[in-house]
Amino acid sequence: MRFGRVVLLAAGLAAGCSSAQEPHGSPVLLNVYWIVGGQPKQVWGISSTGLVQAPPGAQEIDFVFDRLLDGNRIEDTVSQNGGETTVPKATPPITVSWPDETTAMSAPPFADNVLYNSEPLYGGTTAFVFLQPTAIGFPSSDTVTFALDETGLTSAYGEPMIGPSEISVETGPFSASFQLPMDGDAAAAVPQSFMLPVTFSNRIAGASSVAPYIHLSANGQEVPFSAVGGASGGTTVYLSPASCLGGWPAGVPIEAKVAAGAPDAFGVPMPADATTTFMAVGSTGVPDGGCRAADAAVD
């Protein structure tokens, strides 16, 4: 089950405030979902007994309740462009922290928005509050704790939520993977102009922050390349052959590696190497010493 995030946000803004016509009763927190790449992973449930590990590159955290909440305690209604819209409270009812924020922190510092969606997109009579980082991701290999303020998470009558005041999630290690076209179970040969995507499990601070940890070689010789920041919310870079090559060396295996130590946007290092091998089709051979690695990565 997953919903388009644009649809969710639009629905939330359109239906932000519940009415006092709703039945009495404290909202019960049922589930918490960790959203990565549009896919939900349950990280807390009403019968949960321990910490759950989740990929660090989350784009949204959904806190699902069994009934409508008082949206006026979660969002403010403001006039904008001749109409009214809702914006997050300056002091939101859900806040996030981790123990080593002074050292595990992105630049600019982590920020988020807390919003409300009264549509029953999780079924039944549910509604949910969602926390969105302004730039995706939390520090890798850490414990992220969400504090829930029951005075801001209430029914339309001010009845406080039922559920824990804190929920913690362990984030998984920072990792990288190479995205190669496949031919059956094996990697397919690629054109010499192929841009090799390297996708990380968390946001990075730009291609230049990880390029020093990336190495390519063929027949034991260095293969010069350039690294360019791509889309996917700052989690993907693309490797291209240096312009002096005229394309990837053809007809030989090219080994690619992201070495341990490459940092996520919070400065948390990758604990293990990531490697792959690919082959290009064409006529250019292994480079000689006159072709050097690109001097800079472009974000």
Among 156, 171, 186, which residue terminates a domain? Answer: 171
Residue 261 lies in a domain: yes
Closest to 199 (Cα-Cα) out of 172, 225, 235: 235
Q: For the chain, what's the residue count? A: 299
We report the CATH number of the domain holding residue 141 as 2.60.40.1220
15 and 94 share one domain:
yes
- 282, pLDDT greater than 90: no
Summarize the confidence of residues 146-156 as an average pLDDT: 97
- 192, pLDDT greater than 80: yes
Q: How far is CA 213 from CA 195, 256, 267, 275, in A?
A: 18, 11, 14, 12
| Three-state SS at 87 | strand
C-beta separation of 269 from 261 below 8 A = yes
Residue 299 lies in a domain: no
| Three-state SS at 28 | strand
Q: Which two tokens stand for residue 124?
A: 């039944």
How many Å apart are CA 24 and CA 149, to the nearest integer?
19
Total number of domains constituting the chain: 2
Summarize the confidence of residues 40-58 as an average pLDDT: 95
**pTM for this entry:** 0.87
Burial code of 258-290, b = ≥16 C-beta within 10 A, e = fewer? bbeebbbbbebebeeebebebbbebeeebbeee
Identify the residue with better confidence: 288 or 158: 158
pLDDT of residue 297: 47
Summarize the confidence of residues 143-158 as an average pLDDT: 97
Among 171, 195, 217, which residue terminates a domain? Answer: 171
Residue position matching structure tokens 């060396």: 249
273 and 225 share one domain:
yes
93 and 141 share one domain:
yes
262 and 238 share one domain:
yes
197 and 216 share one domain:
yes
